[in-house]
Chain A
Amino acid sequence: MFGYVANRLLAAIPTLLGVALITFLLMRAVPGDVVTSLVGLEANTTPERLAELRRLFGLDLPLHVQFGQWLGAVVQGDFGSSLRTGREVAQDLALRFPVTLQLTVMGLFTALLIAVPLGVLAALRRGGLVDYFASLFAILGLSVPGFFLALLLILLFALALGWLPPAGFVPLAEDPAQNFRHMILPALSLGLILAGAVTRILRSSMLEVLSRDYIRTARAKGLSERVVVFRHALRNALIPVVTVIGIQFGSLLGGAVIIEQVFSLPGVGRFALEGINLRDYPVVQGTVLFVATAAVLVNLLVDLLYSLIDPRIRYE
Chain B
Amino acid sequence: MKKLLVLLVLTLAAASLAQKSGGVLRAGMQTDPVGLDPHTTNATASRNVLENIYDTLVMLDSKGRIVPGLAQSWTVSPDGLTWTFRLRPGVTFHNGDPLKASDVAFSINRIKDPATKSPRANDFAVVRSVTAPNDSTVVITLSQPFTPLLAKLAFSTNVVVSEKVTREHNNDLNKAVIGTGPFRFVEYIPQTRLVVRKWDKYWQKDNQGRPLPYLDGITYTYYPDPAARSTALRAGAVDWIEYVTAADVRPLKADRNLVVVGGPSANFRALYFNTTREPYNNPKVRQAIAYAIDKKAIVDLALFGTGGIVARGTTIPSGAYAYTNSPYNTRDVARAKQLLAEAGFPNGFTMNLYVTSTYDFLRTPADVIRDNLAEVGIRVNIQAEDWNVYLPKALRSEFDVTLLGTSGQADPDDYLFNTFHPSSALNLSKYKNDRVTQLLEQGRRTASQSERQRIYTQVQEIVLQDSPMAFLFHSAQYEAMNRRVQGFLHFPNTSYLAFRYTWLQ
Contact = CB atoms under 8 A, between A and B. Distances in A.
Interface in A202-243: none
A33 B388 contact: yes
A77 interface: no
Contacts of A266: 189-192
B231 interface: yes
A171 B192 contact: yes
Contact of B174 (A36, A85, A165): A85
Contacts of B453: none
A44 B425 contact: yes
B392 A264 contact: no
Contacts of B172: 86
Contact of B388 (A170, A261, A265, A277): A277
Given A47-B425, A168-B221, A159 B231 contact: yes
Given A31-B389, A40-B42, A49 B121 contact: yes
B122 A43 contact: yes
Contacts of A36: 388, 391-392, 395
A176 interface: no
B240 to A, nearest CB: 14
B122 to A, nearest CB: 6
Interface in B187-245: 189-192, 221-225, 227-228, 231-232, 234-237
Interface in B329-387: 386-387
A163 B368 CA distance: 44
B43 interface: yes
B88 interface: no
Interface string A25-59: 00000011100111111111111010011001100
Given A44-B425, A95-B189, A166 B231 contact: yes
Nearest to A276: B388
A128 interface: no
Contacts of A264: 191, 221-225, 228
B191 A270 contact: yes
A162 interface: yes
B96 interface: no
A85 B35 contact: yes
B407 interface: yes
A278 interface: yes
A151 B227 contact: yes
Nearest to B395: A36
A137 interface: no
A163 to B, nearest CB: 10
Contacts, number: 139
Contacts of B231: 154, 158-159, 166-167
A270 to B, nearest CB: 6
A279 B115 contact: no
Nearest to A266: B191
B484 interface: no
A20 interface: no
Interface centre among A158, A261, A264, A266 (most CB of B within 10 A): A264
Interface in B146-205: 172, 174, 189-192
Contacts of A170: 192
B248 to A, nearest CB: 14
A43 B395 contact: no
A44 B386 contact: no
A92 B192 CA distance: 12
A85 B172 CA distance: 11
A167 B192 contact: no
B418 interface: yes
A43 B227 contact: no
Interface in B22-40: 33-37, 40
B115 A56 contact: yes
B391 A41 contact: yes
Nearest to B267: A42
A162 B234 CA distance: 10
A269 to B, nearest CB: 11
Contacts of B424: 44
A262 interface: yes
A42 B407 contact: yes
Given A46-B425, A53-B117, A37 B221 contact: no
A307 B68 CA distance: 74
A45 B120 CA distance: 8
A87 B237 CA distance: 28
A86 B190 contact: no
B121 A166 contact: no
A31 B235 CA distance: 40
Interface in B368-427: 386-389, 391-392, 394-396, 404, 406-407, 418, 424-426
B190 A41 contact: no
Given A33-B388, A171-B192, A44 B426 contact: yes
A87 B172 CA distance: 10
A169 interface: yes
Interface in A91-139: 92, 95-96
B119 interface: yes
Interface in A162-220: 162, 165-171
A116 B107 CA distance: 63
A281 interface: no
A285 to B, nearest CB: 17
Given A44-B424, A45-B122, A158-B235, A37 B117 contact: no
A290 interface: no
B122 A49 contact: yes
B232 A41 contact: no
Contact of A32 (B42, B228, B235, B388): B388
Contacts of A279: 388
Nearest to B358: A277
A39 B388 contact: no
A167 B418 contact: no
B78 interface: no
Contacts of B407: 42
A259 B389 CA distance: 26
**What are the 4 A-B residue pairs with the smallest beta carbon separation, nearest first?**
A266-B191, A32-B388, A43-B119, A85-B35
Given A159-B235, A265-B191, 10 more contacts: A33-B392, A40-B42, A44-B418, A46-B122, A46-B425, A47-B425, A49-B121, A167-B225, A168-B221, A170-B192
24 contacts: A36-B392, A42-B407, A44-B425, A47-B395, A56-B115, A84-B34, A84-B35, A85-B174, A86-B174, A87-B35, A87-B190, A95-B190, A154-B231, A166-B235, A167-B223, A167-B228, A168-B192, A168-B221, A262-B225, A264-B191, A264-B221, A271-B191, A277-B388, A279-B388
